[in-house]
Amino acid sequence: MIEILKSILFGIVQGITEWLPVSSTGHMLLLDEFMTLDVGANCRELFFVLVQLGSVLAVIVLFFNELWPSSRKKWTLWLKIAIASIPAGVLGLLFEDYITEKLYGTVTICIALIVYGVLFVVIERVKQKKGTKHKVNSIDDISFFKAFQMGCFQALALIPGTSRSGSTILGGMLCSVSRPVAAKFSFFMAIPIMVGTSGYKLLKCGFAYNALEIWVLAAGTVTAFLVSLLVIKGLMSFVRSHSFEVFGWYRIALSIVVLIVWLLNR
């Protein structure tokens, strides 16, 4: 029961942080430092992928009418999503082992949290000062090239602590995409990446799990799905009238706290 409760907590953290520009991977790895799931190695590896799949299923449910390829325009949207997925997909396959072995650590996460936190604060303030008008104010207006550009920013999120949604939303804003449209397209871009990663990990880790491990996997995935439903709705409402500067300050504050705790425990 304790392990199932742990998995639910991980699911809550995943569901909240996946869609906010604060780095879900960073939060999950940091939580794992203090509260490790007591399951097999394969189950633990698969767990952190399946909870991401639970999060992305919430996107499919919430935006099903916009995503279901029932017209030429929607097929075009999926082509843009596919193009945007290429950079992260290629780099992820090429450097997965190196990233896992060399970059998954507290220092890397904290540096990424600070760097992107500062970027959020600076970019939001500069745009507010200049009164920048965005050229792209709907999903349909995103060109194939802009989709690829946002995909390049998504590839930066392979570094733990960066935030996939944070990178893509920042990238979209720098490419003159409005904040709400950048956020929505960022949600859509997550679908092929997370579904593909989940399928790959499932094949890699196998299907042999005991009853406890199955419950842990299911509880975390379902929790991430349910929490994501609420967070996505809230974030879409938030971005219409608020900047992301608050998330920048949150990232900076969190990185400082984590670094202090890490140094004290060395």
Stretch 33-46: mean pLDDT, rounded?
84
Instruction: Delimit the domains of the chain by residue range.
Output: 2-264
- What tens digit of pLDDT does each residue of 69-117 get? 888 889 999 999 999 999 998 998 888 788 878 888 788 888 999 999 9
Q: How many residues would you count in the chain?
A: 266
pLDDT of residue 222: 96
Check residues 133 and 183 and name the one with the higher pLDDT: 183
- pLDDT (tens digit, 9 = 90+) per residue, 60-72? 999 999 999 888 8
Query: 266 or 155, which is more confident?
Result: 155
Confidence of residue 194 (pLDDT cuts 50, 70, 90): confident
Q: Percentage of the chain with pLDDT > 90?
A: 42
pLDDT for res 133: 63
Give the single-character DSSP code of 58.
Answer: H
Per the CB < 8 A criterion, the answer to whether 220 and 100 are in contact is no
- Dihedral over alpha carbons 137, 121, 186, 177 (to 10 degrees): 20
DSSP H helices, the chain, are 2-17, 24-34, 41-62, 64-67, 72-98, 106-130, 144-155, 164-174, 179-205, 211-239, 245-264
Check pLDDT > 80 for residue 234.
Answer: yes
Residue 21, classed as helix, strand or coil, is: coil
The mean pLDDT of 205-216, rounded to a whole number, is: 86
pLDDT of residue 203: 84
pTM: 0.87
The position carrying tokens 């996107």 is 59
**Rounded Cα–Cα distance for residues 123 and 133 (Å):** 14
Within 99-132, residue ranges assigned H as helices are: 106-130
Question: pLDDT per residue over 172-189, tens digit each?
Answer: 988 889 888 999 999 999
Q: pLDDT averaged over the chain?
A: 88
Spatial contact of 116 and 170, defined as CB atoms under 8 Å apart? yes
* Residue type at 190 in one-letter notation: A
Instruction: State how far the Cα of 227 lies from the Cα of 229, in Å rounded to an integer.
Output: 5
* pLDDT score of 134 more than 70: no
Specify whether the CB–CB gap between 206 and 262 falls below 8 A.
Answer: no
